[in-house]
Amino acid sequence: MWIVRLALRRPYTVVVLCIVIVVMGALAFTRMVVDIFPAIDIPVVIAVFQYPGLSAEEMEKRVIIVNERGQSTTVNGIERLESQSIEGIGILKTYFQPGTTIAAGVAQINAIAQTILRITPPGMQPPVLVQFNAGNVPVAQVAMGGEGWSEQQLFDYGLNFIRPRLFTIPGLSIPGPYGGKSAQVQVDIDPQKLAGYNVSPNDVVTALLNSNLILPAGTAKMGDTEYDIRLNSSPDTTDEFNKLPIKVVNGAPVLVGDVGNVHFGFAPQTNIVRVNGQRSTFLAILKHSEASTTTVVDAVRGLLPGVMAQAPPGLQLKVGFDQSVFVRAAIANVVREAVIATLLVSLMVLVFLGSWRSTLVVAISIPLSILVGIVALFLTDNSVNIMTLGGFALAIGMLVDDATVEVENIHRNRALGKPLTVAVLDSAAQIAVPAIVSTLSICIVFFPVLLLTGAAKYLFTPLAGAVVFSMLASYFLSRTLVPMMSRAILGGESPHGSAPPDHRPGALERFSRQRERAIDAVRDLYFAGLRRVMARRAFVLVCAAAIIGLSFLLLRAVGEDFFPTVDAGLIRLHVRAPAGTRLEATERIVADVEETVRGVIPARDLDSISSNTGLPIFYNLAFVQSDNIGPQDTDMLISLHPEHGPTIEYIRELRRALPMRHPGIQFYFQAADIISQVLNFGLAAPIDIQVEGNNFALTFPIAQKLEGLIRSVPGTADVHIAQLMNYPTLNVQVDRLKAAQIGLSQKDVATSMLTSLAGSSLFAPNFWLNPKNLVNYFVVVQTPQPLVYDTRTLLESPLTAQNNGSIRSGRPGASNIVVGRPGPVVATRLGDVAQMSRTIRPAVVNHYTVQRVIDILANVDRRDLGGVSAAIDRQVATLGKMPPGVAIRVRGQAQAMRSSFRGMGQGLVLAIALVYLLMVVNFQSWLDPLIIIMAVPGALAGILWMLAVSGSTLNVESFMGSIMAVGVAVANSILVVNFANDMRREGLSAFQAALEAGRVRFRPVVMTALAMIIGMLPMALALGEGGEQNAPLGRAVIGGLIAATVTTLFVVPVVYSLLRRKPPVSHELDARFAREIGERL
């Protein structure tokens, strides 16, 4: 009570405190990160290895496995390792235990990677290391184009000039360009000319290494001057490379230009991007988990005009696929829901209290409580997102409770004839303990959040924090601001029933009287019903138990999901052509698929289509999760206009139309919106069944059988095996004996073929500095791809060998020529020392905890995730016992959902137990809390009925709503039981006390529940963009409170009258203790 007295004695202090709250809240809000989700701090480090031309299996065995084993023995805090090996690229993801210092993990991974380099293939470079978590998702694309700009120019300018400018934006990650062609100095060699001059590709590489040097010449002191010595070690233009000598034959030099052509060109294209049917190049904009989506995108938009102003003429940059639009719309929708809820709740308070002054007192406390919550979230490093804003919206209905109860109590005490100040003090004293118990009860029910794990923990802890902080602030304001304002502005109102006889009521007062009569009439109807219920107590309890028990059968009908589905107007389609389809052929297939998409989605709804075919720069795979593993794969992103039809209906129509019009092509849909990408945490689908085992001959047939079983499960869609096991391969078997006869080693053959087919940059890196833009470019020797068009031309590839003892002719078995000195280089053909055969091999090899796995992925459609997952578990069980070394694992959202539900269920039971113990402390009784908790089963039944009627599922959002509904149900039940105990102390029987408690507490119980229901109504209707996410939360609260209110007003009095046979003794404990102390003294 001291704080109430202080507030009344120092009103200016309270006003200053409120001003400070407003200022601090505004400052905190403007400085907080704005995003769709809270930061999900699950530490992951991604290492990307590159070795062009190395097959997936060789990458797995010679690079990935050795690094996995190295990390597992030297890196601390690892939770699991996941890896993917594709041709030329290896991706190793290291997931750390929560709380691990990520910087130490990066340092250890880098150290072990450097140490292991000596046992990896020669020329292997250290991996690119990237810190990653679930919040690192693409938020926009910067499309590059312009009249007169080639793909090569766009790629080069985007990589070397635009990217460094955008990197200055805080919280932004930007991989290399997608699409386009990577610029390099291209040394195109002609196999026939090489053979004519007895020159091999290796000879050209060696000549370039010896003639294009990056070496200083030193300095010379001549007289009083010291000169820098500069050699023409590197050509100034690409044309000068053609004049570099390779060797001298009969006194005549063989120049590079004699066997090929050097020009400033581009590497063979491995990635094609199409935007609305035209080839394009774009930069993906990613944000860090702690960064704001809106801030990052706004900063990018702000920098682009300056970048274009400094760029060569004609360059155009445009931001597309902007996820900040959805983030802003979703945030604005939640704020709008909260404002509407505040206005509706204030209107309800006005209707119940009939006083605009009282309503003003209550209404002012709502935004102040929310502002205190914002400051608390800011100080605890939280962001503004749909979860924290949803928490505030969830709390609005309860924020009015403390202030409303106090203001109503002040009116009641004034009606008894007390002066205003005395009425304020007495009212505060009378509700002090019930108010704090009610507030703590609601706060305690959020304890289950602490038991969540994984992404759900990071999502719902801020929501719970928003509710708890604002509820505690509301209680504090009810002890300070509400008494002060009541004393200041309620003095102008006449106490109820004290108006003079000649007083002429105004319109508002007449409305108030009609309102009072209506409320009294409703209360009388309720009291009549309660009397009839109390006359049939046993029958009522049996019926209530039966209804509640049968309601729990709805669990199966309601279904289970991890998170509600949100329509963000984006569709992500993966197109997979037959294994080994070359990039240009895949592009033609994609163009046909785009036409099919345009035929399914009307032009009025279709905004744009972007396709990404093949593999980008290798380190891009560390930033953006993709199913592209080769030239046959395409990720297609379809964006719809804001006013579009249901996205899911277009997806269903595309699922039907695409396989019919494009037989032989595999299609499946992936998470497109930012919410689903975060929840999937890098997985391509919500359901991932892994068959683990190192023997593909054993595991792949099992995976194929399991794929068929999963397809038969109702509700599954896009079922497919993620790995390709039939990539076409040409095996070249070198006859080492024949090769040795002419002085060729296996290394000579391998490097010559690597140079011809993949380029020399891997084993003989060579660079040229462009003096115009000061960019270093690779100098790459390679046979142009059009010249190697069949196995015959491949077998004609020239090889050379040098022998210090004797050199044999280019044909095995020919006679020797020279003895005793290094002989001339003699060329031979690949076909002379090798044979070629066709086979197939895996295009990708995936690992989970250093074990090979095959993934069967599936989406869910027209059914809940829990039901589909349970059905899949039953299908897996039909396979029986797995062979030794084979195991089956379920991953994805299904696993996260089960883990979250288990934690929340255990926490909810514990929360109810804690609330019970809190009430034992308050009532000094074991029985009264038990009676109070009788309202909880009714609330849970109401939640299930509301979810079933509204078509919502049981998910983590509706689970949070259930927790809130339980807290409010307990708080209302406390009002009834507490008043009944007061009546018992005045001599009424348990039966009469229960009746009187129901009659007197009807108004505050209904008012509290109605405030919460009205506050949740805008959220439950899900009218705005992104509203589907929080809608189950609001619906669960509404359903739970409707049923809990009925239970509190009817069932709780019945239970009280049956169980509370003896008068409560809590008030006698102090007297008994005093008597004992007095006797001892």
- Summarize pLDDT for 621-663 with one digit per residue, the tens: 888 778 899 999 999 999 998 888 889 999 999 999 999 999 9
- Please, is 611 exposed, middle or buried when counting C-beta atoms within 10 Å of its C-beta (0-12, 13-18, 19+)? buried
The CATH code of the domain that includes 774 is 3.30.2090.10
Using CA atoms, how far apart are residues 340 and 1019, in angstroms rounded to an integer? 10
Last-in-domain residue among 807, 841, 875: 841
> Is residue 251 located within the same domain as residue 393?
no
Beta carbons of 864 and 693 less than 8 angstroms apart: no
Domain containing 18: what range?
1-31+331-492
Residue 716 has pLDDT above 90, yes or no: yes
Using CA atoms, how far apart are residues 198 and 195, in angstroms rounded to an integer? 5
Pair of tokens at residue 846:
């995936």
Select the more confidently predicted residue: 597 or 792.
597
**818-825 — which CB contacts under 8 Å span 24+ positions?**
824/198, 824/249, 825/198, 825/199, 825/200, 825/203, 825/247, 825/800, 825/801
pLDDT at 1071: 64
Beta carbons of 812 and 829 less than 8 angstroms apart: no
| Alpha carbon distances (Å) from 528 to 132, 935, 1028 | 64, 21, 41
> Is residue 1030 located within the same domain as residue 1054?
yes
In a domain, 563, yes or no: no
Phi, psi angles (nearest 5°) of residue 858: -150, 140
pLDDT class for 801, splitting at 50, 70, 90?
Answer: low
> Is residue 122 located within the same domain as residue 140?
no
Using CA atoms, how far apart are residues 8 and 323, in angstroms rounded to an integer? 50
Whole-prediction pTM value? 0.84
Using CA atoms, how far apart are residues 99 and 114, in angstroms rounded to an integer? 26
The CATH code of the domain that includes 424 is 1.20.1640.10
pLDDT class for 748, splitting at 50, 70, 90?
Answer: confident
Distance of CA 552 to the CA centre of its chain: 32
Mean pLDDT to the nearest integer, 603-621: 91
Q: How far apart are the first and last CA of the chain?
A: 30
In a domain, 640, yes or no: no
> Is residue 398 located within the same domain as residue 431?
yes
In a domain, 557, yes or no: no
Select the more confidently predicted residue: 867 or 321.
867
Domains held by the chain: number: 5
pLDDT class for 904, splitting at 50, 70, 90?
Answer: confident
> Is residue 316 located within the same domain as residue 397?
no
Which one, of 305, 272, 281, lies nearest residue 158 by Cα? 281
In a domain, 689, yes or no: no
Beta carbons of 158 and 180 less than 8 angstroms apart: yes
In a domain, 597, yes or no: no
Amino acid in position 446? F
Last-in-domain residue among 822, 841, 860: 841
Mean pLDDT to the nearest integer, 224-237: 88
Amino acid in position 460? F
Phi, psi angles (nearest 5°) of residue 738: -60, -45
In a domain, 966, yes or no: yes
Last-in-domain residue among 800, 822, 841: 841
> Is residue 273 located within the same domain as residue 404?
no
Q: What is the DSSP string of 391-426?
A: HHHHHHHHHHHHHHHHHHHHHHHHHTT--HHHHHHH
Distance of CA 344 to the CA centre of its chain: 33
Pair of tokens at residue 1039:
């359903």
In a domain, 558, yes or no: no
Using CA atoms, how far apart are residues 1055 and 987, in angstroms rounded to an integer? 19
Phi, psi angles (nearest 5°) of residue 319: -85, 130
> Is residue 12 located within the same domain as residue 56?
no
pLDDT class for 508, splitting at 50, 70, 90?
Answer: low
| Alpha carbon distances (Å) from 529 to 985, 1046, 1054, 1056 | 25, 11, 12, 17
Using CA atoms, how far apart are residues 188 and 261, in angstroms rounded to an integer? 5
Angle between helices 893-923 and 956-985 (to 10 degrees): 10
Give the lowest-confidence range in 528-537, 679-688, 847-856, 887-896.
Answer: 679-688
In a domain, 982, yes or no: yes
State the DSSP H helix or E strand holding residue 210, giving kind and residue range, or none if neither: helix 201-211
> Is residue 372 located within the same domain as residue 470?
yes
> Is residue 946 located within the same domain as residue 993?
yes
936 contacts: CB under 8 Å, gap ≥ 6? 912, 966, 969, 970, 1044
SS3 annotation, 512-532: HHHHHHHHHHHHHHHHHHHHH
The CB density around residue 103, as the number of other CB atoms within 10 Å, is: 10
Phi, psi angles (nearest 5°) of residue 87: -60, 115
The CATH code of the domain that includes 121 is 3.30.70.1430
Using CA atoms, how far apart are residues 850 and 59, in angstroms rounded to an integer? 14
Select the more confidently predicted residue: 610 or 324.
610
pLDDT class for 500, splitting at 50, 70, 90?
Answer: low
Using CA atoms, how far apart are residues 51 and 88, in angstroms rounded to an integer? 5
Angle at 802 between CA 799 and CA 806, to 5 degrees: 125
- The residue written with tokens 């009807």 in the block is 1002
> Is residue 300 located within the same domain as residue 160?
yes
Judged by DSSP in three states, 389 sits in helix
Q: pLDDT tens, 23-59?
A: 999 999 888 888 877 877 778 899 999 988 889 999 9
pLDDT at 694: 92
> Is residue 291 located within the same domain as residue 382?
no
pLDDT at 679: 67
The CATH code of the domain that includes 162 is 3.30.70.1320
pLDDT class for 680, splitting at 50, 70, 90?
Answer: low
> Is residue 760 located within the same domain as residue 799?
yes
